[in-house]
Amino acid sequence: MLSKAQNKHIRSLTQQKFRNEYRQFVAEGHKIALEWLQSTWPLKTIVATENWIAMHRPDIQRHPEAELITASEVEIAAVSSLQSPGQVLVVASIPDAPAIVKGVPWYIALDGIQDPGNMGTIIRIADWFGITDLVCSPGCVDVYNPKVVQSAMGGHLRVRIHHGELTSLLPSLNLPLYAAVLGGTDVYEVGRPASGVLVIGNESRGISPEVIDLATHRVTIPRKGGAESLNAGVSAGILCALMVPR
């Protein structure tokens, strides 16, 4: 069973200040927990029901470094951030920031993305299209926020996530910069460039003027209806589908 201290620690990880302090985050639910268990990502704790442990012991044994705690569904629900808690959660280590990898054909850069659902969706989109590197400005939501982890569906395991000032980091990549804006070139006319950086801006303010000034291309998804704008995650998915080489 979970001790009071373990209960308090896991619940504290819903807050960014404690995730930063302990360098840990929570991944929960059957499918997402299995993603981490079947990876080499270092885990601190595995909390699961007796039945779940019995059914997935080979996956659990991949992580001898992790403390295994048997808990009831009621105990797991008490520390869960999900509306419908499952039978398992894992506490994983937050890795050191990865170095920027040069020579990667495509990156996605995020300028001030604040919605956790959008962030998680974009990580998942990058994973789907084989984009291995994501660059986040300092104003972005924490990528280990529980809602981001849930939305990304294991994308953290395959997408390297970098943080830095875009105005200095993006020019160092020496790639064309495609800024998603209103009033740019119709994306259907852009084709599928061999390489580049797709820049997605803040949900309400868009891309900052300083970053737009760096753009070598401004691209737009053509509008036929009356919607004022598209969700940042939806925009990233459409643009990747139309621009990233198959």
pLDDT score recorded for residue 86: 92
pLDDT score recorded for residue 154: 97
Q: Are residues 59 and 123 in the same domain?
A: no
pLDDT tops 90 at residue 47 = yes
Answer with the one of 36, 60, 93 that is the final residue of a domain: 93
pLDDT digits (tens, 9 = 90+) for 195-227: 999 999 999 999 999 999 999 999 999 999 998
Q: Under DSSP, is residue 104 helix (H, G, I), strand (E, B) or coil?
A: coil
Residue for token digits 């044994």?
61
Answer with the one of 93, 122, 142 that is the final residue of a domain: 93
The pTM of the full predicted model, rounded to 2 decimals, is: 0.96
Give the CATH number, domain containing residue 172.
3.40.1280.10
Alpha-carbon torsion 125, 82, 44, 56, what sign? negative
Q: Are residues 163 and 70 in the same domain?
A: no
Q: Are residues 134 and 88 in the same domain?
A: no
pLDDT digits (tens, 9 = 90+) for 84-120: 999 999 999 999 989 888 889 999 999 999 999 999 9
Cβ neighbour number for residue 243 with a 10 Å cutoff: 18
| pLDDT band at 228; cut points 50, 70, 90 | confident
pLDDT tops 90 at residue 158 = yes
